[in-house]
């Protein structure tokens, strides 16, 4: 019997990370629409806020602001909605893997407009804004609760999931809706579990057992359950090592429900993995019951999910 917190629908959903960025600027309505037209089961959206409390689709951190806005990199949380709506995104965007050029200059979208765009069957993964100040008066502090309230008001609780590496942010999201929204804790730094798993063959039984027990405590203890919610999401690097780690932890019951891998770029440009290896890794995770995969290439990811890695490569 499936766990009550697992997503309904296909065994593995292909989620377009920030939309289809090869077609339109990241986190814009055009990018979300292009991703859904390309066959993605849903989209992952970064949620930010303006100073006056309007939720927007934008990852409000320095690197993203420099990439999209150039020299005008003041945080969106320090601007009113009118100023944010007047911003235009650069026509050429440089990523570590290369530059993308667009025909038009994009604009920052309201989260409510993006959610209204989604068809009834689409899943939406909402990455909550990184908190800049811990004060309740800070705009970013109120993002989790306002996002959860918007999801509930629009009737999306059964197909939206809020994700964050801040357990207290997830707690505020659930408290705002009396537990009606789905949340997942993101392991933002996979270095420690990866290193521990890598050393498992050379470690004593007690060390391996201790590692497993520490993760199990994270999953089962009362305070942790209240903070983290009903699922633990693992942000593990998309490598063969990361895949083996996820497979082992999920088989041992250390991970429950949904977990996600990102960033995943199936062209292999950003991390040096060739497409064949990535397809095989993804197919293996799908076979292990992966709930969703965030990807910059939803067409190919859908092919792997639907036909397996061999079938997907035959249609490249």
Q: How far is CA 234 from the centre of its chain?
A: 10
Pairing of strands 123-127, 98-101: unpaired
The predicted structure's pLDDT at residue 6: 46
Q: How many CB atoms lie within 10 A of CB 108?
A: 24
CA distances from 22 to 76, 80, 100, 296 (A): 24, 29, 7, 8
Q: How many CB atoms lie within 10 A of CB 65?
A: 19
Contact 232, 255 (CB under 8 A): yes
Helix axes 298-314, 275-287, angle to 10 degrees: 100
Residues 19 and 26: their CA atoms lie apart, in Å, by 6
Strands (E) located in the chain: 13-17, 42-49, 55-57, 92-95, 98-101, 123-127, 160-164, 182-187, 232-234, 292-295
For the chain, the structural domain boundaries read 13-190+231-240+255-314
Where is 47: in which H helix or E strand?
A: strand 42-49
C-alpha closest to that of 14 among 57, 44, 46? 44
The predicted structure's pLDDT at residue 114: 98
Q: What angle do CA 115, 117, 121 make, to 5 degrees?
A: 80
The predicted structure's pLDDT at residue 179: 86
Please, which residues have CB within 8 angstroms of residue 26's CB and are 6 or more apart in sequence? 18, 19, 68, 93
Residues 9 and 23: their CA atoms lie apart, in Å, by 27
C-alpha closest to that of 42 among 74, 79, 17? 17
Model pTM?
0.80
Q: How far apart are the first and last CA of the chain?
A: 36
Q: What is the mean pLDDT of each run of 10 residues along the chain (316 residues)?
A: 44 88 95 95 95 95 92 90 95 83 93 96 87 65 94 94 83 90 68 50 52 51 50 46 55 46 43 61 73 82 83 65
Name the CATH code of domain 13-190+231-240+255-314 (choices 3.20.20.190, 2.40.30.10, 1.10.3260.10, 3.10.20.740): 3.20.20.190
The predicted structure's pLDDT at residue 133: 53
Contact 278, 264 (CB under 8 A): yes
The predicted structure's pLDDT at residue 283: 78
C-alpha closest to that of 183 among 220, 154, 157? 157
């Amino acid at each position: 019997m499936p766990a009550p917190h697992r997503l309904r629908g296909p065994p593995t959903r292909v989620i377009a990370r920030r939309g289809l960025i090869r077609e339109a600027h990241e986190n814009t309505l055009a990018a979300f629409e292009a991703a859904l037209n390309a066959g993605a089961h849903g989209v992952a959206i970064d949620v930010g806020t303006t100073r006056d409390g309007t939720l927007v689709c934008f990852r409000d951190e320095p690197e993203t602001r420099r990439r999209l806005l150039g020299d005008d990199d003041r945080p969106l949380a320090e601007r009113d909605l009118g100023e944010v709506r007047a911003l235009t995104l650069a026509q050429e965007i440089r990523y570590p893997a290369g530059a993308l050029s667009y025909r038009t200059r994009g604009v920052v979208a309201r989260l409510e407009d993006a959610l209204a765009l989604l068809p009834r069957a689409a899943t939406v993964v909402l990455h909550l804004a990184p908190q800049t100040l811990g004060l309740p008066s800070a705009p970013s502090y109120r993002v989790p609760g306002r996002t959860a309230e918007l999801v509930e008001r629009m009737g999306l609780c059964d197909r939206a999931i809020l994700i964050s590496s801040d357990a207290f942010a997830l707690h505020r999201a659930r408290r705002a809706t009396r537990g009606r929204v789905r949340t997942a804790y993101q392991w933002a730094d996979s270095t420690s579990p990866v290193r521990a798993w890598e050393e498992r063959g050379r470690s004593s039984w007690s060390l391996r057992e201790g590692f497993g027990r520490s993760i199990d405590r994270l999953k089962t203890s009362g305070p942790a359950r209240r903070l983290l919610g009903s699922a633990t999401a693992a942000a593990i690097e998309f490598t063969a090592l990361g895949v083996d780690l996820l497979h082992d932890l999920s088989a041992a019951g250390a991970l429950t429900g949904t977990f996600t891998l990102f960033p995943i770029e199936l062209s292999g440009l950003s991390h040096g993995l060739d497409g064949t290896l990535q397809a095989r890794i993804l197919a293996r995770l799908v076979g292990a019951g992966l709930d969703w995969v965030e990807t910059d290439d939803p067409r190919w990811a859908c092919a792997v999910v639907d036909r397996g890695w061999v079938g997907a490569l035959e249609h490249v």
